[in-house]
Structure 1
Amino acid sequence: MRRSYRLLWLVTALTLVVAGCAGGDGGLRLTVATFGEFGYGPLFEEYERTHPGVEVVGRVADYEAHHKGLITALAVGNGAADVVAVEEQYMPRLRQSADRFADLAAFGADRLRDRWVPWKWAQGVSDDGKVVVGLGTDMGGLAMCYRRDLFERAGLPVDRERVAALWPTWEDYAAVADLFAQRVPDARFADSAGTVYTAVINQAEENYFAKADDSFIAATNPNVKRAFDIAGALGAKGRTAKVAPFTQPWNVAVSQGGVATITCPAWMLAQIKEAGGPGGTGKWDITAVPGGGGNWGGSYLTVPAQGAHQRESYELAEWLTAPEQQRRLFVTDGILPSQPEVYRDPVVLEHEDPYFGDAPLGRLFAASSDTVRPNYRGVRDADVRPVFGRALGRVEEGAQDVGQAWEQAVREARDALR
């Protein structure tokens, strides 16, 4: 889940997809619905300045409510915002309903395909290749955020390269977690088993569904079982703080130094900074993630066909995803662009962040972007993926052992697909 996604409590699912309408001053009002903050606030203001008569209103809600609200609005034919962000997990499902979205090629989007890496563009196009459903925003290149002060207390190295050398594999990462627990009993090594699990499976090309025929393969896919066993063991041993990202307990754990490492796609940096506050400056650092790179999240801007201002909505979506705006979002919010022109830009490559010990974010994230490859997401991915996260939660709470949780997760996943 890309920056998936600080929870902001808006009233109902459908309020996050309120349809665009005329502004109060007689001008045009366009609504943009996102899940979590995309860093768009200043961009909306700039767009209004450069497009007199246009008012841009953001609607922000949590991840699940946002997407379920969109699905409902598409089903009933009204209630969707003018521009709606869709996370990659939901794109395969929504591409099956391409007729519910404006074909962005009709407004010239097909001429822009070379802006994006090929796989990013392809995920935004209908399966038959005829409809451009969405314009790509970011991608979620993986790294590992760690607390320098907690590593020092544990007698572990704090230099980025030496820290990365501790865990060439996720099994090595688990071994470091055991050592850390012996030396620092009042903090936990990872935030949650679910976070670790997501990072591990996102390094594999296939997880829940087969790329060839979209068949369910999680029960027999060694990539999924390995990820579940590694993350589950961390939870069962008490190596995790049992706090899910984008919740208040997670914010507290981050701000109070209760977590030593967080697998962090680029979009999560802003969430760590916000949760940690000024007191966290210089305590956090960033290094390579075990197992090499990977991709966790990434989104698209879509224009529902029910909107009354489709061309104007497309123009806004195109502007928000243009290289100039994508470059700015990386520098201000650490949101990793999916456009080679942007992530190869010297301004991006040379970007550092004092909050993370002047970590070279450009080199850590942007410079590795050419190696990022997506894992295949099945049409029913959004129905299956949460089942395994809940299973790991049961392990962390001591309600089940890893084997029991796995067996129940597989059963529930199969039931969800019936």
Structure 2
Amino acid sequence: MRKLTRRPAVAVLTTALLLLVTACSGGSAAEGGKIKLTVATFGEFGYAPLFAQYEKDHPNIEIQSRVTDFDTHFKTLATQLAAGHGAADIVAIEEQQIPKYLGVKDKFVNLADYGADQLQNQWAAWKWAQGTKDGDVLGLGTDMGSLAMCYRRDLFQQAGLPTDRKAVAALMPTWDAYARLSQRFTDKLPKVKFADSAGTVYTAMLNQSPENYFSSRDDSYIADKNPAVRNAFMLAGTLAQKGQTAGATTYTQAWNVAIKQGTFATIACPAWMLTQIKEAGGDGNTGKWDVTTVPGASGNQGGSFLSIPKQSEHPKEAYDLTKWLTAPEQEKKIFLSDGILPSEPNVYKDPQVVAHTEPYFSGAPIGQIYATSADTLRPNYRGLHDADVRPEFGRALGRIEDGSEKVDAAWTDAVKLGREAIK
């Protein structure tokens, strides 16, 4: 769950194009001789009550929280790293951004110096590997984004389709089946869209592939050669061209309105998205949504790490807080209170977590659904320039949705613009 816009970044580390953002430096001494630690996140991570508890247990520590939207967070961090000052003591790094920050890991504290490497088995093996390079530990994992499918029970019923979550899952075991179901739905309810946007369908499909735009072997651009990219684009683009997507870009005001008004019936949803759907839908939509398994294999959409810039004046204290925030006890509390799925198997398999249900989503057993999804998750290789290339394909799908471009032409343009974005 990220209350302040969680979406792909358009730029990080390209400091020549960034405006200098002024920020207080982290790690300063607070009043009364206390050590002040700043924690910068993109959106709410559910940390407020944990910060209060930590300060209570550590009277010498004062924690200052900096919460901004996704793009502001990473643009600011890029500027601070380039300037050599201003960064928080602890910064959140989203999983799509990790490859780039591993490339400048010399600007961050190697958490292995404080014993983080001894905690390796705390996380899923793939999650731990994401945040490390050449034995250095860039960050400790927070959440992850294993996928499920959120759907409107009332709209399915109006379309004459089953509403039971197991029956719905049986209707769409694959994305091709999902597309066929979309047509069935549209034939019955032509004024209601089946998916929120082509981009959401495309991203979910792409996240289930071992590779996306770049080769895991040598990081070369393979968007035009990888069948997974083309297949995802063509399926999502065809849904858009048929008018079966609402064209509501995730987390925008239009998306919020579409959820509240019941404009679309399905959306591939990681656990952290449930709170955003609930907040956008309001009390009037309680019980109208449900959650089932996602078509295809499980994929990952989102998830973060906590890292410590070398600028911090108190790296040891910052590490202690980072270690505590990502410990199983705290990760469990965050899931039960905010629905943010931990990336630690012992936590997401915890009986209390597995038994967790969500009343707003028709009592869906979200703990069980997301734990199962997490356990079968296989992450994909992002590539160093994923954040530069990915938006080009999203914009191409948007052009299909607004009618300015057909699927084939949009695909050709996306491949070309993606290659140019690397340069």
TM-score range (shorter-chain normalised) is over 0.9
**Do 2:20 and 2:79's aligned partners in 1 also have CA atoms closer than 8 Å?**
no
Which AA in structure 2 matches 1:91?
Answer: I
**Residues 130-163 of structure 1: per-residue CA shift (max 9 Å, x gap):** x211001111111000011111111111000110
> In the alignment, is residue 291 of structure 1 matched against residue 296 of structure 2?
yes
* Partner amino acid, structure 2, of 1:7: T
Partner of 1:397 in structure 2?
402
How many residues align? The count is 411
TM-score (norm 1): 0.94
Runs of 5+ consecutive residues of structure 1 not aligned to the other structure: none
1:63 Cα offset (Å): 1.7
Matched, 1:179 2:184: yes
Unaligned regions of 5+ residues in structure 2, if any? 7-18
Give the one of 266, 279, 282 matched to 1:277: 282
Distance 2:23 2:144 in 1: 23
The answer to whether the Cα contact below 8 Å between 2:26 and 2:36 also exists between their aligned partners in 1 is no
Partner in structure 1 of residue 124 of structure 2: 117
Determine if the alignment matches structure 1 residue 60 to structure 2 residue 67: yes
What is the identity, as a one-letter code, of the residue corresponding to 1:56?
Answer: I
Q: Is the 8 A contact 1:138 1:298 kept in 2?
A: yes
* 1:6 match: 4
The answer for the alignment partner of 2:106 in structure 1 is 99
Change (3 A) 1:379 1:342: same
Larger CA deviation: 142-151 vs 28-37:
28-37
2:174/2:296 contact within 8 Å kept = yes
CA distance in 2, matches of 1:92, 1:330: 26
Aligned to 2:84: 77
Distance 1:17 1:192 in 2: 39
> Structure 2 matches for 1:18-417, cutoff 5 A?
19-126=26-133, 128-129=134-135, 131-417=136-422
Q: CA contact under 8 A between 1:31 and 1:56: conserved in structure 2?
A: yes
- 8 A Cα contact 2:287 2:361, kept in partner: yes
> What is the identity, as a one-letter code, of the residue corresponding to 1:85?
A
Deviation at 1:43, TM superposition (A): 1.4
**For 1:271, what is the secondary structure of its paired residue?**
helix
Residue pair 1:16, 1:33 contacting (<8 A) in 2 also? no
Q: Does the C-alpha gap of structure 1 residues 304 and 315 become closer, same or farther in structure 2, counting only changes over 3 Å?
A: same
Q: Please report how far the alpha carbon of residue 17 of structure 1 lies from its aligned counterpart in structure 2 after TM superposition.
A: 7.9
**3-state DSSP class of the match of 2:132?**
coil
Q: Deviations over 1:320-363 (max 9, x none)?
A: 10000111111112111111111111111111111111111121
What is the CA–CA distance in structure 1 between the aligned matches of 2:338 and 2:155, rounded to whole Å? Answer: 25
Letter in 2 for 1:117: A
Instruction: Give 1:294 shift.
Output: 1.4
Q: Summarize the Cα distance change of 1:191–1:24 in structure 2 as closer, same or farther, 3 Å threshold.
A: farther
**Partners of 1:36 and 1:61 within 8 A in 2:** yes
Paired residue secondary structure (2:336): helix
Would the aligned equivalents of 1:234 and 1:240 in 2 still touch at CA under 8 Å?
yes
* Secondary structure of 1:304 counterpart: coil
Cα pair distance change 1:4/1:16, threshold 3 Å: farther
Give the residue type in structure 2 aligned to 1:159: D
Distance 1:16 1:397, change over 3 A: farther
Distance 1:290 1:13 in 2: 43
CA shift for structure 1 position 37? 1.7
**Structure 1 contact 323–342 (Cα < 8 Å) conserved:** yes
CA contact (8 A) 1:301 1:317 kept: yes
In the TM superposition, what whole-angstrom CA distance separates every residue of 1:368-411 from its partner, at most 9, and x where no partner exists?
A: 32211110110111111111111111111111111111111111
Query: Relative to structure 2, which stretch is displaced further, 21-30 or 199-208?
Result: 21-30
Aligned-pair distance for 1:48?
1.6
SS state of the match for residue 102, structure 1? coil
3-state SS, counterpart of residue 219 of structure 2: coil
Deviates more, 1:143-152 or 1:13-22: 13-22
What TM-score does the superposition give when structure 2 sets the normalisation length?
0.93
Preserved contact between residue 4 and residue 297 of structure 1 (Cα < 8 Å): no
Helix, strand or coil at the partner of 1:64: helix
**CA shift digits 1:46-69 (9 cap, x unpaired):** 222222132222222222221222
Q: Secondary structure at the match of 1:47?
A: helix
Say which is worse superposed, 214-223 or 31-40, in terms of deviation. 31-40
- Deviation larger for 202-211 or 61-70: 61-70
SS at match of 2:224: coil
Closer/same/farther in 2, CA of residues 7 and 368 from structure 1, 3 Å limit: closer
* Structure-2 separation of matches of 1:47 and 1:327: 16
The residue type equivalent to 2:4 in the other structure is R
Could you say what secondary structure the match of 1:89 adopts?
A: coil
